[in-house]
Amino acid sequence: MTPRRVLGFFLMILAVVQSKITSDRSRWWPNGRIFYRIHFGVDAELVHDAIRSIEEQTCIRFVENDFGAGQHHIDIVAGDELNFDF
């Protein structure tokens, strides 16, 4: 699904189809943990509030960490750093 730009932010709405989301275990985050890194210029308190909200409603846990080369993680960047070259 392509993100839509809403008031300067990107919003992605995912359709929940459990059989398609969970069938390929190789695509799951290890032990339900999502590693992430918050870059300079991002409101870390706002990010942590959002993470707590997600964790309260799901079995997903977020782990903030320094990363070695090649480790899968999410980069949380300021709006002017967005790059969609996948």
- How many whole angstroms separate alpha carbon 18 and alpha carbon 66? 31
Per residue of the chain (86 residues), what is the pLDDT tens digit?
Answer: 344 444 445 444 444 554 455 667 777 777 888 888 888 888 888 889 888 888 888 888 999 886 665 577 888 887 765 555 54
- How many whole angstroms separate alpha carbon 81 and alpha carbon 51? 20
Structure letter (DSSP) for residue 4: E
Full-model pTM: 0.60
Pairing status of strand 4-6 against strand 9-11: antiparallel
